Amino acid sequence: MQSYENLKALVASAEEDIRKAEGGNKAAGTRARKLMQDIKAASQAVRVEILELREGN
Alpha-carbon distance values, 7 to 20, 24, 50, 53 (Å): 21, 26, 14, 18
| pTM summary value | 0.86
Say how many domains are in the chain: 1
CA 4 to chain centre: 10
Domain span holding position 23: 2-56
Per-residue pLDDT tens over the stretch 1-57: 899 999 999 999 999 999 999 999 999 999 999 999 999 999 999 999 999 999 876
